[in-house]
Amino acid sequence: MDKSGIMLHTKNEETTVDWNKDIQNTISQIITELVTNAIRYSHGNLFSVTFSQKKNQYLITVHDNGIGFDKNISYKNSFGLSGIKKRIDYLDGNVSFDNDNGAKIDISIPIVKGD
C-alpha cells in the first residue's frame, strides 16, 4: 500500500487457512472494503487486521489509527458499512463499529460443524 501511505499489518493470518472457503471469501471482501474506506476517509497511516479462532467463533478485529467513525452517522447510512453488516448477517455473525484511537471493527462468525 505504498501509494496510499497506509501500512498494513496482519496478525495470525495463518489461522484462516482451515476456515471455510465461503467465509474466507466474505472476509476478504470485507477487508477490501474496510481498506478502501481507510484510504478514503481515515486520515491514518496504519491499518491492522487480527485473526483468531476461539471455541465456536471465528474472530476478526480490524483497526486503523485514523479519525474514527463519525458518531452522527449510522452504518445504515453508509453503503459500504451496511454491505459489510449484510455479509456478516448472512453468515449469522456479528459486527460492531467502534472508535478506539481510530476506527475499530470487531467481527465474529459462528463456526458451523463441518467448516
Count of structural domains within the chain: 1
Q: Looking at residue 97, which CATH number applies to its domain?
A: 3.30.565.10
Model confidence pLDDT, tens digit, residues 55-94:
899 999 999 999 988 777 655 566 678 899 999 999 999 9
Model confidence pLDDT, tens digit, residues 32-63:
999 888 888 888 899 999 999 998 999 999 99
DSSP string across 18-79: GS-HHHHHHHHHHHHHHHHHIIIII--SEEEEEEEEETTEEEEEEEESSS---TTS-GGG-H
For 22, the domain range is 7-110
Residue 105 counted as domain residue: yes
Residue 1 counted as domain residue: no
Question: What's the predicted TM-score (pTM) here?
Answer: 0.88
Of 86, 79, 83, 87, nearest to 25 (Cα)? 87
Pairing relationship of beta strands 57-64 and 94-99 according to DSSP bridges = unpaired
